[in-house]
Structure 1
Amino acid sequence: MTDIHVEQREPQPVLSIRQTIPVAELTQAQGASLHELWQVLQDGGITPAGAPFVRYHTFGDVETDVETGVPVAEPADGTGRVRAGELPSGRAVRTVHLGGHDRLGEAYNRIQEWLETHGTATGPAWEVYEWIDLAVEPDPAAWPSPADWRTQLIQPVS
């Protein structure tokens, strides 16, 4: 799927964990964050309002400032490292990547090409991992093959 869709987004309450970590530890840190988010949802009786997301506030060669979160229907209190926040409202473009994340750069490139002639990024993009359901305990062994992953990429724009 190579389409770019322009949309007007409403603010979305979230619970998330933001941390600066070495890029080499990214997969492990995201897994731990997903499990911690799931536990807060369970303990608080909070139902997710969609699939979890990852938003890179900065991404360097060695270190990344990454936020792993889950949308919630109503604002909810965080606990420990889990903080309440929201994904921004406003104009955004969205594309979908099908398959493993070794080729996710193709989706980022589609958005970058769109931006060159249609708009300007107004904040960090986020990836929505549609194959992960935080209504159940995260278990990578139960997830589909990466070839079957569906990831939305959303970029706020002006």
Structure 2
Amino acid sequence: MLDNPQLTQTVEQLTAVIRLTVPVSEISHVMGPAIAEIMAAIANQGVDIIGPCFSYHYKRPSEIFDFEVGFPISRAITSIGRVKNSNLPVVKVARTIYHGGYDGLAKAWGEFCAWIETKSLNPQESLWECYLVGPESGPDASKWQTELNRPLND
């Protein structure tokens, strides 16, 4: 289920990320280890995580996902291994919240992108998801929430 989409202006957020380029079939194998690696790098440097985990896709995913996974942070980190500083941009976005398990995200994105098209908005190639409530909160996937963001051109 999707909440009613809204248009909003984002603020820049400093982030710690790992960039991954993988086939869609590898996502479930690379996300967990990457998230753990980022969290360890942040914790080892005494930096605070100030928002939910996200994945920032440079273009709408197809068979290959080219994206950053990471967390908003309170201050810059020293790059270590694959973990680097990045940011979520200042941009006007169409935004909604998807309620449900991760297996429904592709369908949710399809519905959301169709809404953007019916409103004649001009989306950029990039998009991102913020994992607001997920498996760490309990096994009932109907209670999970993922924020969907699609940047718009002026």
Deviation at 1:120, TM superposition (A): 1.2
**What whole-Å deviation, never above 9, does each CA across 1:104-132 have from its counterpart, x for those lacking one?**
23431333123222311124111111126
Hey, what does 1:60 align to over in structure 2? Answer: 62
Alignment of 1:66-85 (within 5 A): 66-85=67-86
Hey, what does 1:151 align to over in structure 2? Answer: 146
C-alpha change, 1:64 and 1:105, in structure 2 (3 Å) is closer
Letter of the aligned partner of 1:121 in structure 2? P
Hey, what does 1:122 align to over in structure 2? Answer: 124
Specify every segment of 5 or more residues in structure 1 that has no aligned partner in the other structure, as ranges.
Answer: 133-139
How far apart in 2 are the matches of 1:22 and 1:114? 27
Give the percent of matched residue pairs that are identical in Structure 1 and Structure 2. Answer: 26
Contact 2:55 2:67 in 1 (8 A): yes
Alignment of 1:98-109 (within 5 A): 98-109=99-110
How far apart in 1 are the matches of 2:98 and 2:9? 20
Q: Secondary structure at the match of 2:65?
A: strand
TM-score, normalization by structure 1: 0.84
Specify every segment of 5 or more residues in structure 2 that has no aligned partner in the other structure, as ranges.
Answer: none
Letter of the aligned partner of 2:101 in structure 1? G
Deviation at 1:143, TM superposition (A): 4.4
Deviation at 1:22, TM superposition (A): 2.6
How far apart in 2 are the matches of 1:76 and 1:7? 28
Letter of the aligned partner of 1:89 in structure 2? V
**What whole-Å deviation, never above 9, does each CA across 1:16-70 have from its counterpart, x for those lacking one?**
0002123222112000111001101110111111000012324332x32121111
CA RMSD of aligned residues (A): 1.8
Q: Secondary structure at the match of 1:104?
A: helix
Letter of the aligned partner of 1:57 in structure 2? Y
Q: Secondary structure at the match of 1:118?
A: coil
Contact 1:99 1:150 in 2 (8 A): yes
